[in-house]
Amino acid sequence: MLAIVCPGQGSQKPGMLSDWLELDGVREDLSVDAQLAGLDLIVHGTESGEDAVRDTAVAQPLIVAASLISAKALGLTAHQLGERPERVLIAGHSVGEIAAAAIAGTITREDAFRLISVRGSAMAEASAAEPTGMAAVLGGKEDEVLAALEQAGLSPANVNGGGQIVAAGSEQAITALTENPPARARVMPLKVAGAFHTSYMAPAKDKLAEAAEQVRAEDPALPLLSNRDGQQAIAGADVISRIVDQVTRPVRWDLCMETMKDRGITGILELAPGGTLAGLAKRGLKGVPSFAVTSPEDLTAAQDFIAEHTA
């Protein structure tokens, strides 16, 4: 059984779409996606530097674009995967949940980019309201880490499993935590520009909720796990509600991995820009093979991996 996972913010990098543009049809698809997202995805995906792609309003559409490009190149559509639903499940980390919903057939690609346009720009605006940030806390005992975050006035925005919790809050509190980490833990600031998945994002949630009212959601054609609790979302309306709510709620990727384990997955395929979730799986799902798609050069090996774990 194969888990197909879509990465979240922080996985972006300069030039991340350059190689993909060499594939037939990708430039044309991106031109349409760019109009829906209100952002020149081709320029940002090939020419923009580190600071530009770190911008939330830019990073989120780029990440979703990369995931959907790689999914299409691998033939991972709801129609094709629907022929073997008992062999596949899908999940996305944070913004990756929008890409996952599109692959599962809950929303169209067009609606995915309409939603990501609002989500990215609204979260960027909320981030600009006051200095906030995020940092990964690696190691330590979970209860001690959570207690340290509470004492520092920070929130556990992502509980990623494998000994990783992401703290979010004011820049001052993030800096203080970095300089005085919890016992047996180290703190690594992340390449994001705000305290995502906390109450700081309430204005963004309201704007995304308004945009989501215009989306007609279908029930997922494939098992789709939710960041909220790691459980399968059955109804299309519930998927959309969860996508909206997650803007201010913690991402429980640890619970998603627990469900994957319970379902008996034998392989994890991370779509582009891959690497982060495959790394978490090596720690949180020890012994389960993973494959991260990073460029078109990975497609042949990825197809072999898909065939092996959906046979």
Positions annotated as catalytic residues are 94, 197
- Alpha-carbon torsion, ordered 245, 259, 166, 209, to 10 deg: -10
Rounded to whole angstroms, the Cα distance separating 9 from 60 reads 6
Rounded to whole angstroms, the Cα distance separating 222 from 109 reads 16
Residue carrying structure tokens 């309409």: 114
Rounded to whole angstroms, the Cα distance separating 11 from 169 reads 20
- Alpha-carbon torsion, ordered 96, 70, 273, 87, to 10 deg: 60
> Could you tell me the two tokens for 201?
């994002």
User: Which residue type is seen at 32?
Assistant: V
Report whether 124 contacts 194 (CB < 8 A): yes
Strands 88-92 and 155-161: unpaired
Angle, vertex CA 120, rays to CA 2 and CA 91, nearest 5: 10
Nearest CA to 196 out of 229, 253, 228, 157 is that of 157
User: In angstroms, how far is CA 226 from the centroid of its own chain?
Assistant: 11
φ, ψ (nearest 5 deg) of residue 158: -130, 125
Report whether 134 contacts 190 (CB < 8 A): yes
User: Which residue type is seen at 223?
Assistant: P
Size of the chain in residues: 311
